[in-house]
Structure 1
């Protein structure tokens, strides 16, 4: 590790633009996309802002760690799916759940009543063709100016990357699965 001197002055100019709702995208093959989105939701909720979280791959009855905590804090979180595709018994039904879920999420975004709307794991149904990309892009372009939208998932399409205000790509450097260590409650849930 190379030691460096701490900066003594700001190295970037202070932004002078107007505050507005942002589109924030967390993508890539590394861990932490949903976790980062949940952190933003907690930060906004901590400031008294209305937040809604939609999870496109979780079932409505899911009770993972984030569901338990968000319930305690009063942050609405809703599972819209029936699990990952490899667990589905009926992919047509899974596709319909995703489309119906998108209709709910789109209505929430367009209503403008929430400071932040999180669309967790939306890239799966988008990549599978279950939700039309143009519908998502149109909603993001036309949303009320004050609404922040956070999207997560691997392999975000170039059009979404272009539209987003902030894009973070989580890069996989090393993962415990590759060493044979299974998923663990409190880490992967």
Structure 2
């Protein structure tokens, strides 16, 4: 674990002593986030969340997520995953927030999710990105992190950054899932 991750973890643990699970600290915002460089297709290489368990690992198939700025300045986030013999797709509109790389998720009320936020925590735009998502379904907070890649190969240290971000959110290794890419294709 690197010194920055260790520092974040120690600070987080001190803050957590006085907080509930619904009010976990968020990492700092990227001050120089550039949506025009971020948009495009990404492979989802790893997920971690407070609702994931070991038994969910077999359910995650390789999938892609595409970010595209529309004419309103909002971002269409579209995902596609092969399940059995069909391609499942889903999408959300992301409304830029007050901080760089922060978005409010414009969800359909029928989805059962009241509101959501997504934050791009770190990216180099060409090979990896780390996202943090907070959603609320009623009074339940659903927190997740995503490891994205432009390809299936990541720069050294990226996996450690993903694990560190998950630990900041209170996740254990049981809360981390990686897609099984053996013989799988994306839509």
> Which one has a larger percent strand, Structure 1 or Structure 2?
2
Q: Rg: which structure is higher?
A: 1
> Is TM more than 0.5 here?
no
| TM-score scaled by length of structure 1 | 0.28
> Which one has a larger percent helix, Structure 1 or Structure 2?
1
| TM-score scaled by length of structure 2 | 0.29
Q: Considering Cα pairs closer than 8 Å and 6+ residues apart, tell me whether 1 or 2 has the greater RCO.
A: 1
